[in-house]
Amino acid sequence: MIGRSDRQPRAPLPLLDGQVVASFGRHYRVELADATTLECVTRGRRHDVACGDRVRVAAHDARQGVIEAIARRSTLLYRSDAHRTKLICANATQIVIVVAAAPAFSHDLVNRCLIAAEHGGMSALIVLNKSDLPQTAAAQASLQQYRALGYDLVILCARHDLRPLLPHLEGGTSVLVGQSGMGKSTIINGLVPDAAARVAAISASLRSGRHTTTHACLYRLGTAAAIIDSPGLQAFGLHHLDCSELARAFPEFRAGLGHCHFRDCRHLAEPGCAISAAHERGEISADRLASYRRIAEEFARHAKRVRGQAAGTRGYPSA
């Protein structure tokens, strides 16, 4: 009989390179170099994996594996509030912000997505969908402020013709973001006709679709492009930024940064603020400045709450 001490240790499983092409909760689908896929989980309690991540996995069999390592990311898109951080995707080169005239879209959410793109080193494209609606002309007029800042704007009706969008997707990985009801799913289904079936199949194989509505999926568009579909957004927290990072994420602010009277100016109501002066000269729109100030004040309220909670936990040591 072979004793326990005489048993040979199990050889480690070989590691395979792949990319996460779907994430459902803490379950992931990884596509390997030969285009086969593995249904994967992470080691232990780790849950910092995002759709688009390049990973190394240990395959248990032909269908299942464990993510052992994440390669260095070129970009990471995520949102954060006072309580948690939510990863959206990794290694995207462009954020495509989808809006429509109806239901009404939020300029505040558009601004937050643009801030995330600027801070994360990604380009940004705004897509005005449902161009057949009579309210489109007004919506287009309201979006001209972003075009004036250098952001591209594409106008289309995804149900009928996606050709205006296609040149903007070539040669990179784009992630679609936007509120629910803007037509993101219509765009994805037009670009990837079997997308809905793929999501259903992944949900079934991972047995997690019925437990979560948050998911992201990456689809190949030929050999040189990809698109990531993300869940609909109603809010986009930016608590991982500070006020200086927030200000730098507004392109129209950059010429004035460093020229305020006070070095620690937050560009709210301080005297001698170069950003306020630029607004008065018509170089910064009232809407964009108001958006910046709402977010900066949100940061300040959060910081005040944190300080208050910290002060409340302080006490005298027991005797």
Question: Of all residues in the chain, what percent carry a pLDDT higher than 90?
Answer: 72
- The secondary structure of 210-235, three-state, reads CCCCCEEEEEECCCCCEEEECCCCCC
pTM above 0.95, yes or no: no
Residues of each domain in the chain carrying CATH 2.40.50.140: 15-70
Give the model confidence (pLDDT) of 3-12 as tens digits. 555 565 565 6
Give the model confidence (pLDDT) of 279-299 as tens digits. 999 999 999 999 999 999 998
* Residue 6 pLDDT: 59
Give the model confidence (pLDDT) of 70-121 as tens digits. 999 999 999 988 778 899 999 999 999 999 999 999 999 999 999 999 999 9
**pLDDT-based confidence at residue 213 (cuts at 50, 70, 90):** very low
On whether the 243-301 domain is CATH 3.30.2310.20, my answer is no
Query: How do 64-70 and 54-59 pair as beta strands?
Result: antiparallel
CATH architecture of 76-229: 3-Layer(aba) Sandwich (3.40)
Residues of each domain in the chain carrying CATH 1.10.40.50: 243-301
pLDDT exceeds 80 at position 315? no
Torsion of CA 117, 122, 126, 127, to 10 degrees: -130
Residues of each domain in the chain carrying CATH 3.40.50.300: 76-229
Domain 15-70 fold is OB fold (Dihydrolipoamide Acetyltransferase, E2P) (2.40.50)
Distance, in Å, from the CA atom of 149 to the CA atom of 11, rounded to the nearest integer, reads: 57
Q: Residues 24-43: what's their mean pLDDT? A: 92
Give the model confidence (pLDDT) of 120-156 as tens digits. 999 999 999 999 999 999 999 999 999 999 999 999 9
